[in-house]
Structure 1
């Protein structure tokens, strides 16, 4: 089977019906986030690159047809119309690393209706997860106020792929390194790490463990000091580093307890030992809220974040949607309560101060407005080179510099709100009236004797 089977069953049943009815005209689907998660002043667009990889290789093969048939309890010949289906459509998207707001399309897919429908679940999965993680990581960088932040999330993420993405995306928004060796190697990131408590426990004493570790690893080392008594562990680490003349570039790591109070005492012990250059690394259940508190009062040099960031614990998902906005040249929309969508292919115009305007694709930009959606795929093939992680990071930092200060707050941020253009508002009203008129006409017709 191929990744084409990574979809929800109802995508298959709808695609089959479209093909049977000859409904293969072009359809445009818009992917957007309805509302910001709690305590988010902005989102960082991510997941586009893996989505484009999926789309460029999308093809329904014989084994995929067999899988669909098995899921539907039907003979493979009934699913034969899907065989050989490829994605040869267009994608317009906000490049990875750019900051986006609620309601703004992150991407729009235009393709034959069965194609555009079948790819929904995979694309939503990638954009939803990666935008969630990138946005959480970005807040950690803000909270650290210039102190390095590193990724320790692999062991707690929801699968190895999610761990890889967390390492990649955290680097995109400014993390200094990752413990994930695969991600560090593939993406050219600094690999970071120290030791576990089990390493200390395997030796007779902390001092024996620290000296053994230093013998094995020349150069700067980071020693975990809280396996037993933390303050005593700091004293032992100080003695070993001083004896071996390994203080320059080295660090101790605090992983439990009252990190703020322990960091103050550890700093005092290190300074008294003549080791002012030995840094303090803090880890253990940290996220942007904890970092924001610690950075104000504790002499911590580096923050290692893991579980809470790798799964975005306080906001683990986005209220994202992938909705059809046009079919065969006809603008369409959804009217159900609280989930109304706007019709037509769109563009987002970034205006100074994030006074963004969501308009129609062919609109002229408002004064000083810059279009965010770019054509990144045509005829099922990329139209632009894959950006480097550095380039995506530059986009992020450029956008971050323009955000209002209230959106940057870690606690009680206020997110800017995009508005719709007059043309989009007008089209929405026209389509709504047309749908309502059609419904009234149908109801009147069915009421006739």
Structure 2
């Protein structure tokens, strides 16, 4: 409907939207047919479309000008903070999809905190004016990186007021295509940590794309996610980085990239401590059992990022990837392994082990007795098979249950992690 005026679009959608007229005019025939036979998807879709067209300020003149004027980068109207749609000079890239590939809930001790200051919030039209990073090994700072960047555009008074960065500060600074290769070299393959990390990652990725650089593949952890888990609203009024700076009494400047990296690092380290405090206290054999299972899975090219250990009230360790793969008792005189009741004595070769009757509450056909935890290596086949079965169940739950992804994310921040 681009050839119609804004008022024309509104009129078409209001009067003909219930049977999909606006979709037919946009040559979206499948959606048009769907609207025709469902009365605009039972009027709900029609109403949503009316709201969208009322919010759309684009006119036919705007569209004509947009088509006639070469624009290096454009952003879709409905996803200004998500998708960058670029002309033939620069490849199209979906920023949200890229972020989904790299985001993680892992909390490593070796990482790089990152932060950017920009001319605004639009991933297409705005640019980075400052980029900083601090590298930590075992939670100790080992190196830092910080550059002011010439965006080749004037800063608004709002940005100058918020950041304290002026146009004069940037006029002789390198451009982002000069700075990004140095930044990529600095971060290596470390996990990147940022507050509201989606924004920083997407802005850096958009700039990489404009500079013809490969998208960064580093894992990205978000302190905003961790803070919401470990700090209640009774402790902090909101989860802004500025709020945590005040909460921790940190004497860092706000809205400057390097200072925000330090604040982010401090918050991350506090969250990491809270995570460690919540981890069960395992003995040496229990930790070794987790390490052996991780080794077995990795040798079989299986993902171990969700592997966790949970100490049950019976002093039995459950080795899990959301659901339990198997249980092992490492405490006391009697040491044994439990697989679920689907495993029978005929299922696998247990000839090297002594089997014993389980208790009534153990949901297993037998106990596999052992004397040394390294004997787990002899059960590699069954461990791999049970992992695959368990992972399929977990994947189905995450995908099909409405709260599945949220519950899985909560799970990843619990238990003992190797």
- For the criterion TM > 0.5, the same-fold answer is no
TM-score (norm 2): 0.22
Which has the higher relative contact order, 1 or 2, with Cα contacts under 8 A spaced 6 or more apart? 1
TM-score (norm 1): 0.21
